[in-house]
Amino acid sequence: MNAFDRLCGSAIGPVGIAVSGGGDSLALLLLAQKWARAKGRHLIAFTVDHRLRPEAAEEAAGVAALCGRLHIPHQTLVWNRPAGKQAAARRARHALMATELKARGGTHLMLGHTEDDQCETFLMRARQGSTWYGLAGMQPVSLSPVWPEGQGILLARPVLGYSREALRHVLLEAGQYWVDDPSNANPVYERVRVRALLARHPRLKRGILASQARLQQLRRLEERAMGRWIEHNVKANAEAGRFEISLGGLPLERAERLISLLIQIIAGREVPPRRDGVQPLVAHLVSEHRFDGATLGGALIYRKSGLIQLSAEPAVTGPEADFGRAEARLGAIMALYCGQT
């Protein structure tokens, strides 16, 4: 229960739980119910029906029935714009749950990610050429990945340090059955192939987890340093609608990470610009050579009198490019980074 206290103890309003009907999320539901009952907290469970499988509605009804027995409010959210890509479904899922949770005054949404998910993420990111920062994997607490629907929502992963097998034991002891999404066995998806690889090589999993534990520590230190640097070196010029910063004295890798983050925020994007675009940009920004400005990831970047100015491109309009939202998003990131223990 310590993980629930640490990650969700400061939550405002009801704490949301994403429950698909699979083993990981159902085990999370049972554990969260015990925590909430002991702490006097209110929960609300969400199940998203993507309308991609005919069985999904029945599975959502099964989750609703279980929540009824546990006295936990439940809502099934339906996505009416189905698509075949997992990325689109993931975005829709997060947007629906964030919107409903905010409407009820909630700030924290629990997810049932496990250490097995961490290992899979490590191998997938390694194949993509990720730096050590990305290989650290998912964080116990992070900002919602969707924008602007997810503004103000934190994702909490209380069972991130436990295996999928351990969560199955929780369900078996409670006499609770779960469903397996057929896509979890479809080798067309990279994560499924990686999962099969890890099942064949248990020593590989142990090695990855040991490495990730160290990388997680380094990442927490790096993010605290980044949060402090942002607090003292990033000026929000609301009148001009831009951020103003100086990169003097920053290590190159950290400068790249910060510029990438600020571009993502000022442009209102859900993902940062590609690293192969950020690296040459930062090399120009920290050099003494003439720099006439650039555009990247929906942002305009200029250097004037030693200060770097970042603003949204004129073509980027709408709530996702609102500077007030950008300031709020930056503040949430600083709070998250500086509040880590």
Which residue is listed with tokens 């650039």? 294
Kindly state the percentage of the chain with pLDDT values over 90: 80
pLDDT computed for residue 319 by the predictor: 53
Query: Which structure tokens are listed for 13?
Result: 């309003």
What is the residue whose two structure tokens read 């910063």? Answer: 245
pLDDT on residue 318: 57
| More confident: 89 or 4 | 4
Please report the pLDDT score of residue 108 as a whole number: 98
- Between 180 and 169, where is the model more confident? 169
| Residue 341 banded pLDDT, cuts 50, 70, 90 | very low
- Average pLDDT of the chain is 92
Residue 288, pLDDT above cutoff 60: yes
Spatial CB neighbours of 233, under 8 Å, sequence gap ≥ 6? 245, 246
C-alpha distances in Å from residue 130, one per residue of 134, 160, 193, 225, 258: 6, 21, 19, 21, 16
- Residue 183 has what pLDDT? 79
Percent of the chain's residues with pLDDT above 70: 96
Helix crossing, 190-200 with 202-233: angle to 10°? 130
HEC profile for 194-225?
A: HHHHHHHCHHHHHHHHHHHHHHHHHHHHHHHH
Question: For the ranges 95-99, 234-238, 285-289, which has the lowest average pLDDT?
Answer: 285-289
| 120 and 195 Cβ atoms separated by less than 8 Å | yes
pLDDT at 297 over 60: yes
Under the banding of pLDDT at 50, 70 and 90, the label for residue 180 is confident
Residue 122: predicted pLDDT: 97
**Cα 137 from Cα 120, distance rounded (Å):** 9
Starting at the edge strand found earlier in the chain, the sheet holding 108-110 runs 74-78, 43-49, 15-18, 108-110, 154-156, 141-143
Pair of tokens at residue 28: 């999370």
pLDDT of residue 305: 85
Q: Say what the pTM is.
A: 0.91
Cα(49)–Cα(135) distance, integer angstroms = 31
Residue pointed to by tokens 């015990």: 34
Quote the tokens at residue 139.
Answer: 């964080």
In the predicted structure, residue 195 carries a pLDDT above the cut 80? yes
